[in-house]
Amino acid sequence: MSQTLVSPILLGTGLEQLNTVASQALHQQSVEISKALNGLIPQQFQGKTVSQVPLNTGRKVIALTFDDGPWPEFTNEILYILKHHHVKATFFVIGRNVRNFPERTKQMYLHGHALGNHTWSHPYHQHSEGQAAGQIDNTTQWIEQATGGVKSRLFRPPGGFLNNGLAAYAAKQGQTVVMWSVDSKDYYAPAPRIIENVLSQAKPGAIVLLHDGGGDRRPTIVALPTIITKLREQGYEFVTVPELLDLKAQETQTASGG
């Protein structure tokens, strides 16, 4: 009986093709999940302002957030640390940085992180509705363009200013205005103080303010692995802001018998 032999080279090529197809499918699944995380905000939080979202169960969830990026060197280092520690975070990006570094923005969401709007140029002054629209809508469009379709529904006002027209415009558009309950003060503090600031203020449902742009973020990069490790040792789970809001919405729905 004759037997057909398959060349090892052809067999290897076939396996490579299968691996490529599987990798592409997994990548596409990750993209779709990321888009869903960024685009869907529970109705109870649309147009609202949040600074922390504790769960009634006391579950120790915490959301790390990073402002003012993307920035090539520092954002890349932070993404590497988050990936190494299997942590998903939320990045509040500046529109002009998204325009200048679209690949870094795309990398954020391909890693499974959530994206939020932090205005076009990080202004503090008073804005008319038209000016606020320019700051926020332009950034939204650049996020969508850089990521291939992510429609972020989160907004963080620069400096945390809620009364200069920006937050009001975002809320009017149904976006969730995201503040914070833990200020790392990494915009001026050295790494040991950043660690102390986060650990001393951490509570279940907390939203932590950190930065990946807007200045020298090497202290943040040094502090981040210790922050993650110490919080995990205390039993904390890391979630994105959309995940945190969704957990609360599910809890509310269960309590109401929905």
Give the active site residues.
Answer: 67, 211
Distance from C-alpha of 245 to C-alpha of 258, rounded to nearest angstrom: 17
- C-alpha Rg value of the chain to the nearest Å: 21
Using an 8 Å Cβ cutoff, are 41 and 242 in contact? Answer: yes
Tokens of 117: 């709007």
Partners of 208 in the beta sheet? 64, 182
Place of tokens 């979630």: 239
Does a cis peptide bond (omega within 30 degrees of 0) precede residue 70? Answer: yes
- Closest by Cα among 202, 208, 223 to 65: 208
Exposure class string for 97-106: b at 16+ Cβ within 10 A, else e: bbbebbebbb
Using an 8 Å Cβ cutoff, are 213 and 94 in contact? Answer: yes
Distance from C-alpha of 31 to C-alpha of 37, rounded to nearest angstrom: 10
> Which H or E run contains 126?
none
